[in-house]
Amino acid sequence: MVKEEYLKRYDVSHKYNLKVMWSYLRSSKGVMLAIVLLLLAIEIISFTDNFVFKFLIDKATEFNLGEVSKEQFLQFVMLLLGVYFVLRGILAPIFYFIRIKLFNRLEGDLMSNLEKDSFWHIMTRSYRFHLNKKTGSIISQLTRGVSKIETMLDAFMFHFIPTIFRIALSIGVIVYFDKITAMILGIMIVLFIIIGIYITEKQRKPQNEANYQEDLLKQNVGDVFTNIETVIYFGKEKRTQSYFASISNSLRKARIKFWDYFSWYVMIQTFIIAVGIVAIFYFTFNSFVEGRITLGTIALIYSALFKLLPYLFNMMHGYRMFIRSSVDVSALLEMFKVEKEVLNLPNAKTIKIKEGEINFEHVYFTYPKNEASIKRGKELDTVLKDFDLKIKPNTKVALVGPSGGGKSTVVKLLYRLFDLDEGKITIDGQDIGQVTQESLRNSMSIVTQEPILFDNTIYFNIAYANPKADKKDVWKAMKFAQLDKLMANLPYGERTIVGERGVKLSGGEKQRVSIARAILADKKILVLDEATSALDSATEKEIQRDLEKLMKGRTTIMIAHRLSTIMKANTIVVLDQGKIVEKGSHRELTNKKGGLYQRLWGLQQGGNL
């Protein structure tokens, strides 16, 4: 994806982000209201400091003028301190404790629910979505988005709401004592906020660019360490480091450009506050000289003002946090807009397979256009053209032919990773387009050319095919695949961690794990997609023997380039450019003069392929 497309795709919609966040918080409205009321109570209690100073100074002035006695003055001080202690020493700590407890649970639920929903949504997108997405980018967007939704909520609860309450209290109280001072304070606050919002909005594009560069960096890291063996075998460590350094330097420039806006922000807002404070100083003392306010009132105004200033900076810091977090969250929430391309019908039923008869009825299929082909206006070629094939129960059918002929596409369509253009596919007379995708895929087993294993134990990887299976059944599957011998030589046996994508196992060992999975799944339909092509001859023969046992009593579809591995198939189907050009047994096809299969067989027997 080019940079411009990325920036356009993840252009931020704060309204949409807030709408999604609110959809998660709606069920906790009572908790949110309690938190807001606690925040209001805490701010009111905190604001009493200003009145304490006012009352003490005014009462002290009266004492100096002889208007109150020493006893009266001390009684007033003790009463005031007692009230202050109850508010600040008892009630405020309790309110803080309850607020933090409630907020922790609110935020924990929000993050957990978003995390689970995001994982499910991404995982259940159609096959093509995952083909066009890089794993590193998805991980980056998921983890960053979930963590930043916390920051968005923090901005509201710890920055926006307390500051709004504090502004309302400060201006409301100051208006009562001196309207001119309150008006100046209001103007200063408005200018402060407007400038803060303007500069923060200007940061949106550079932050998006920084996120783009960060995703590139994480994609590169994931790609390199997934393929670390390639780097080592080709001795390309310095070249790989050089490429990484170039991406890192681009990210550094993007980050600095983004961060530099903050210098303008600090300079302008500090100037606004300086002008505002000078104006407030002038007018408050002018009012004092004219006798409109007391010295205690001046103390209250200045105390309220200087306590409000950190709140204003805190509010704008919260706004910057909100905007930056919203940009980060957008990349994740945009994926919520991605619809599944292959959908279950509203009345889709669970497929039930007893015999395992498969029918491809006049199937036509063209891969969906991607963004690149749409931009070029390029028409895509039809991959399968009038593909018509009946596979009888308990038979072995092999699909062969030149690369790009459509063999793997047949398997993808059988698993309904894509919808057909025309025709239909049935299993035991049930149209796979009218059954649930989960039940369809749960009804088949597959052994692929390169089994992808989880970074977990051998036992976990085998049991994944049938989580309900007991330990006895799992071990039975291991023995069938001759994994019990391997287990005996490993220090941790079946609890051995296989590494990312199974890198700690050899090709043959991974295939045996894959075969054990297929055995444990025990499905009527079995797909072997180039199951032995990556193995050496000795290992291939051993695996072939295991596969022969596995295929007994099952309908099997085999894809192979190495024709010697499919000689025993009941039917061999030769595909070329999306069409069935030949069909028959190995003997029939090798005896067919001028046939494509005979030519491929001759090339392989002659050692040219």
Task: Reply yes or no on whether the pLDDT at 358 is more than 90.
Answer: yes
Q: Do 387 and 282 fall within a single domain?
A: no
3-state DSSP call for residue 59? helix
Residue 420 has what pLDDT?
92
Q: Is residue 321 part of a domain?
A: yes
Residue 302 has what pLDDT?
83
Q: For the chain, give the longest Cα–Cα distance.
A: 127
Residue 608 has what pLDDT?
45
pLDDT digits (tens, 9 = 90+) for 100-150: 999 999 999 999 999 999 899 888 888 888 877 777 778 878 888 888 888
Q: Is residue 94 part of a domain?
A: yes
Q: Do 319 and 359 fall within a single domain?
A: no
Q: Is residue 523 part of a domain?
A: no
Task: Reply yes or no on whether the pLDDT at 13 is more than 70.
Answer: yes
Q: Do 37 and 79 fall within a single domain?
A: yes
Q: Do 90 and 110 fall within a single domain?
A: yes
Q: Is residue 67 part of a domain?
A: yes
pLDDT digits (tens, 9 = 90+) for 565-601: 888 899 999 999 889 999 999 999 999 888 899 998 8
Q: Do 307 and 362 fall within a single domain?
A: no
Type of residue found at 490: L
Q: Do 408 and 310 fall within a single domain?
A: no
Q: Do 175 and 150 fall within a single domain?
A: yes
Residue 471 parent element (H or E): helix 471-480
Give the residue from 195, 207, 191, 162 showing the smallest Cα distance to 321.
207
Q: Do 250 and 105 fall within a single domain?
A: yes
pLDDT band per the 50, 70, 90 thresholds, residue 336: confident
- Could you tell me the residue range of the domain that residue 79 belongs to? 13-337
State the CATH number of the domain containing residue 354: 3.40.50.300
Q: What is the mean pLDDT of the chain?
A: 85
Q: Is residue 452 part of a domain?
A: no
pLDDT band per the 50, 70, 90 thresholds, residue 1: very low
- Looking at the structure of the chain, the number of domains it has is 2
Q: Do 161 and 48 fall within a single domain?
A: yes
Stretch 332-352: mean pLDDT: 88
499 and 436 Cβ atoms separated by less than 8 Å: no
Task: Reply yes or no on whether the pLDDT at 536 is more than 80.
Answer: no
Q: Do 332 and 346 fall within a single domain?
A: no
User: What is the layout of strands, in order, in the sheet containing 358-365?
Assistant: 384-391, 358-365, 422-427, 430-431
Q: Is residue 508 part of a domain?
A: no
What residues are paired with 425 via a beta bridge?
Answer: 360
Residue 374 has what pLDDT?
47
pLDDT digits (tens, 9 = 90+) for 369-423: 665 544 454 556 788 999 999 999 999 999 998 888 888 899 999 999 999 999 9
Q: Are strands 571-576 and 396-400 parallel, antiparallel or unpaired?
A: parallel
Q: Is residue 309 part of a domain?
A: yes
Q: Are strands 555-559 and 525-529 parallel, antiparallel or unpaired?
A: parallel
Last residue of a domain, one of 293, 320, 337: 337
Residue 196 has what pLDDT?
84
Stretch 237-262: mean pLDDT: 88
Residue 221 has what pLDDT?
86
Give the residue from 529, 564, 579 showing the smallest Cα distance to 404.
579
Give the separation between CA 453 and CA 505, rounded to whole angstroms: 10
The percent of residues in the chain predicted with pLDDT above 90, rounded, is 25
